[in-house]
Amino acid sequence: FCLESHFQLLYTLGCDCYEEHSSSSRAAGMNGNGPSKFVDPLEDPLPGVGTYEDFNTIDWVREKTKDRDRHREITNKSKLSTVALLHSISDAFSGWLLMLLVGLMSGALAGGIDIAAHWLTDMKEGVCLIGFWFNHEHCCWTSNETTFKERDQCPQWQSWAELITGTSEGPFAYIMNYLMYIFWALLFAFLAVTLVRAFAPYACGSGIPEIKTILSGFIIRGYLGKWTLIIKTITLVLAVSSGLSLGKEGPLVHVACCCANILCHLFTKYRKNEAKRREVLSAAAAVGVSVAFGAPIGGVLFSLEEVSYYFPLKTLWRSFFAALVAAFTLRSINPFGNSRLVLFYVEFHAPWHMLELAPFILLGIFGGLWGALFIRANIAWCRRRKTTRLGHYPVMEVLVVTALTAVVAYPNSYTRMSGAELISELFNDCSLLDSSQLCGYKPVSVLADRPAGEGLYTALWQLALALVFKIMVTVITFGMKVPSGLFIPSMAVGAIAGRLLGVGMEQLAYYHHDWFLFKGWCSPGADCITPGLYAMVGAAACLGGVTRMTVSLVVIMFELTGGLEYIVPLMAATMTSKWVADAFGREGIYEAHIRLNGYPFLEPKEEFEHSSLTVDVMRPRRSDPALAVLTQEGMTVEEVEALVESTRYSGFPVVVSQESQRLVGFVFRRDLLISIDNARKRQEGVVGASQVVFTEHAPAHAADAPPPLRLRGILDLSPFTVTDHTPMDITVDIFRKLGLRQCLVTHNGRLLGIITKKDILKHMAQIANRDPDSILFN
C-alpha cells in the first residue's frame, strides 16, 4: 500500500506497461558500458544481459543456474592454486558471515528501537529532571531514595503539569497533562509521516506484503534500500511513541530485510544473484520475528510458513543461526532491563483443565470473527483511501487519526499505555502483592480464586471500552502512511477479550464452585482459573484470525511461555480461529493487501481448484493475432527490431521456421535489445540488413552480404514447455515449484503459445469473479 504513487502513474499511462521493457530504462542500463573492443556475445556476457527491470519478476531457474555455474567455476579453480582454494573456502563461508552480520545488525537496531520508543513514549507524560534522555523507569532507578517505594513516584520524574505549574494534582494539571500528551503524539506522528513522505515512501506500512512478493521473485528497487532502512527505523520509533494503535513487529521484519539486503552488497555471491539474495532475505524475515518476540524458532517457522517462497534446508539452518545471533544481541542490549527479549514474557504455574477448552474455543471463534471482520473493514477502508480524495491528504489523515486516538485514549489507562505494556499487564498472573487494578480482588486468606473487588470491576469496564476502541481504531490505522505493524494491536484486542472472559470464568467458578462443571476441580481455595492464560489464548486467536498463521504462531507463543503444557489451549484456539476466519474468506491480511496492490504473487499455499486446461489460459487467445516468434535464421536485424518494437512482450520464442513452429529456444527482449544495440555500436559490419542467427553454426552467406549477427549466446536453449492439454493445476504447480516467469505451450510438438505468471493470476482472478485487470505487474 506504499506503492500508490506508482499505481497512479500506471493508471495515468493507461497501460500495464511494467510488464514490458521501457526504452528509457534500457538506455540507462546501457550507460554502464565503457568503450570496449569487439565483444562476442558467446564469450563474455554484456553488462545488463541477464538482469531485470524494476517491477518485474525474476526467473528463478535462470538465477539458480547462474549461481551453480559460478560455484562450479570456483570449485574447479580451487584445485589449481592456494589463493583460489582460499577464495573457494571464503566463498563457502560467506553465507555464514553474512548471517552473523545480519543477526548482529538487526538485533542492535531492534534494541535501539525498543529503547528509543520506550523513552519517547514516556516523554509524552513527563520528563526526567536529571537528564531528559532517561525514560521514566530509568530515571527512577538512579534515585536512591525510592528504592523500595513505588517506582512510579520518584521526585526526579515530573509530569508536564508538575514541571510547568508545580503541582500534579487537580483538574487543571490533568488537562495540562492531557494537552501535552496530545501535543507530543501529534508532533511524533507529524514527524513520522513527513519523514516517510520526504525521504522514503516505501518505509510506510508493515512491509510484510511487499516482502512476501519480493521473496516470490518480484523486483521493487529501493524497497529494501538504505534510505528505507534509516527512515523506517526512525519513523517506526516515532509512530510507536505517538500512541497510535500499531505495533513494531511487522516493520521489524522489514528493517531486518533491509539490513540483509544492504549487507548483501558486501558479497559478490549475493549482490549479483537475485535468487541467492532472496535466500538471505528469507532468513532476515526470521530474524525480524526473532527479535520482535524473542522467539528464534518461531521466527524461523514464521519465515517458512508465512513469508518465504523458496526455502531450501540450507536456508532453514542459516535462518536459525541468524535468528539466534539476533536474539542474543538483543538480550545483551537488554532493552527492558530484565534480560528478557520482550515485554510480555510470561510464566504460568497453574495447570489448565480439559473443560476449559470450551472457553478457549470460544476465544478462537472470537478471534476468527475479528480476523475476518478486520480484513474486510481494513481492505474496504484502504480501497476507499486509494480511490477517493482521502488518499490525497496522507499527512492530514495521520494527524486526524493520531489526535482522535490520543483524545480518546488518554482518559482510559488501558488505552493510554502502549500496546506491549497492555499485553504484558493482561498476560500477567495476579500475585497477592500485585497492586495493579486488574488484581483488585477482595482480600481473602488464600492465594487462589478470589471474589472481584471494586478495583477489578472498574478495570473490567475500562477494558471493555478499550476493546471497542481498539477494534475500531486499528481498522483505520493499519495502512496509513507511517510504519505500522498489526501484531500488537491484534494481540491486544485478543488479550482484552481473553482477560474479560477469564475473569468472568473465575468469578463464575468462585461463586458456583458446587456446579457439576466445576466440581472436583474448582473446590473453594483452589486456584483453578488463570485469567492471564485466557488473555494469552485470546491474543493468539486474534493474531491467528488476522494473519492465518498456525504453527509459527503456536511456537512463538510457546517460546513466550516456555511450557509445553499450554500448547494445547493455544492450538485449539488458533485452529478454531483459522477455520472460522477461513469460512469468511481464505485470505489473510497480507494476501489481501497483496491482491489490493495487484502484485504478481502466486500463493503457494492454495491449491488451484478449477479444472481448466493450459490451452484456455495461454496467449494468444483464439481471437488474438498469432504469437510473435523469431526464427532461428533468416530474419534481419531490422526485421527483428521491427517485431520487438511492434510488441510489448518481454521475451520471444525462437522457432526453426515459421512453417514448422518447432521450438528452439527463448530470448528475452531486454537481452535482445542490449545485444543488438551493442553489436551495432561495436561490432564491425553489423547493419540493419545483417542476418540474425541463433543457430550454432552460421549459415553460409554471400560474400557481399553483411556479416551475420550471432546471438546464440543470449538464447535460452532450455525453455520450459507444457502441452496444451496439461491441466492448469499441474501448470500452476510447475510455476510455483520451479519459480517460473513464463512457460511455452506446445501441441503435438508445435509451438502454440505462451503462458506467464500474470496470465495465471488473471485467470485465477477471473475464476474468483474479480477484475483480472487488478493484476498490475508481471
d(CA 222, CA 229): 10
d(CA 563, CA 532): 14
Of 64 and 87, the one with the shorter C-beta distance to its own copies is 64
Pick the closest to residue 508 from 452, 553, 560 (CA basis).
452
Of 243 and 299, the one with the shorter C-beta distance to its own copies is 299
Closest contact distance (angstroms) between CB of 731 and its own copies is: 9
Closest contact distance (angstroms) between CB of 351 and its own copies is: 11
Closest contact distance (angstroms) between CB of 733 and its own copies is: 7
What are the residues binding its own copies (CB under 8 A)?
Answer: 61, 64-65, 68-69, 71-72, 75, 296-297, 300, 304-305, 312-314, 316-317, 320-321, 324, 327-328, 550-551, 554-555, 558-559, 562, 564, 567-568, 571, 575, 604-605, 607-609, 611, 614, 655-656, 660-665, 717-719, 721-723, 725-727, 729-730, 733-734, 737-738, 746, 748-751
d(CA 536, CA 633): 68
Closest contact distance (angstroms) between CB of 611 and its own copies is: 6
Contacts of residue 306, Cβ cutoff 8 Å, sequence gap at least 6: 208, 212, 547, 549, 552, 590
**Residue type at 744?**
L
Q: Scanning the structure block, which residue is given the C-alpha cell 553489436?
A: 679
d(CA 25, CA 49): 14
Of 562 and 688, the one with the shorter C-beta distance to its own copies is 562
Of 341 and 692, the one with the shorter C-beta distance to its own copies is 341
Closest contact distance (angstroms) between CB of 352 and its own copies is: 12
Run of H or E residues at 674: helix 669-682
Helices first, then strands: H and E counts in the chain: 29, 11
Pick the closest to residue 102 from 297, 344, 270, 250 (CA basis).
270
Of 497 and 692, the one with the shorter C-beta distance to its own copies is 692
Sequential DSSP letters for 487-529: HHHHHHHHHHHHHHHHHHHHHHHHHTTTSTTTTTTS-TT----
Q: How many CB atoms lie within 10 A of CB 222?
A: 12
Closest contact distance (angstroms) between CB of 325 and its own copies is: 9
Closest contact distance (angstroms) between CB of 69 and its own copies is: 8
Cα dist from 206 to 245, 264, 295, 478, 485, whole Å: 13, 22, 19, 8, 5
Closest contact distance (angstroms) between CB of 620 and its own copies is: 19
Of 4 and 724, the one with the shorter C-beta distance to its own copies is 724
Which stretches of 216-312 are DSSP H helices? Answer: 226-241, 249-264, 268-271, 274-293, 296-302
Closest contact distance (angstroms) between CB of 551 and its own copies is: 5
Of 238 and 580, the one with the shorter C-beta distance to its own copies is 580
Name the grid cell of 122: 514516556
Closest contact distance (angstroms) between CB of 576 and its own copies is: 12
The torsion region of residue 432 among left (phi > 0), alpha (psi -120 to 50) and beta comes to: alpha
Of 221 and 750, the one with the shorter C-beta distance to its own copies is 750
Size (the chain), residues: 778
Contact 728, 608 (CB under 8 A): yes
Closest contact distance (angstroms) between CB of 571 and its own copies is: 7
Closest contact distance (angstroms) between CB of 42 and its own copies is: 14
Closest contact distance (angstroms) between CB of 662 and its own copies is: 3
Contact 279, 98 (CB under 8 A): no
Contacts of residue 503, Cβ cutoff 8 Å, sequence gap at least 6: 452, 456, 460, 531
Of 12 and 769, the one with the shorter C-beta distance to its own copies is 769
Closest contact distance (angstroms) between CB of 68 and its own copies is: 5
Closest contact distance (angstroms) between CB of 654 and its own copies is: 10
Of 124 and 712, the one with the shorter C-beta distance to its own copies is 712
Three-state DSSP at 62 gives helix
Supply φ then ψ for residue 349, to 5 degrees: -125, -30
d(CA 83, CA 85): 5
Sequential DSSP letters for 143-206: -STTSSS-TT--TTEEEHHHHHHS---HHHHHHHHHHHHHHHHHHHHHHHHHHHHHH-GGGSB-
Of 367 and 394, the one with the shorter C-beta distance to its own copies is 367
Of 614 and 778, the one with the shorter C-beta distance to its own copies is 614
Pick the closest to residue 596 from 141, 209, 271 (CA basis).
209
Closest contact distance (angstroms) between CB of 63 and its own copies is: 12
Contacts of residue 577, Cβ cutoff 8 Å, sequence gap at least 6: 363, 364, 365, 367, 368, 371, 540, 541, 542, 544, 545
Cα dist from 109 to 96, 179, 232, 266, 513, whole Å: 20, 32, 11, 19, 51
- Cα angle, residue 277 at apex, residues 306 and 485 outer, rounded to 5°: 40
Of 71 and 197, the one with the shorter C-beta distance to its own copies is 71
DSSP code of residue 443: P
Closest contact distance (angstroms) between CB of 288 and its own copies is: 18
Beta-ladder partners of 112: none
Contact 257, 213 (CB under 8 A): no
Three-state DSSP at 141 gives helix
Of 150 and 609, the one with the shorter C-beta distance to its own copies is 609
Exposed / middle / buried, residue 94 (Cβ in 10 Å: 0-12, 13-18, 19+): middle
Name the grid cell of 487: 501484531
Of 215 and 776, the one with the shorter C-beta distance to its own copies is 215
d(CA 619, CA 626): 9
Three-state DSSP at 621 gives coil
Of 180 and 602, the one with the shorter C-beta distance to its own copies is 602
Of 316 and 476, the one with the shorter C-beta distance to its own copies is 316
Of 150 and 696, the one with the shorter C-beta distance to its own copies is 696
Closest contact distance (angstroms) between CB of 302 and its own copies is: 12
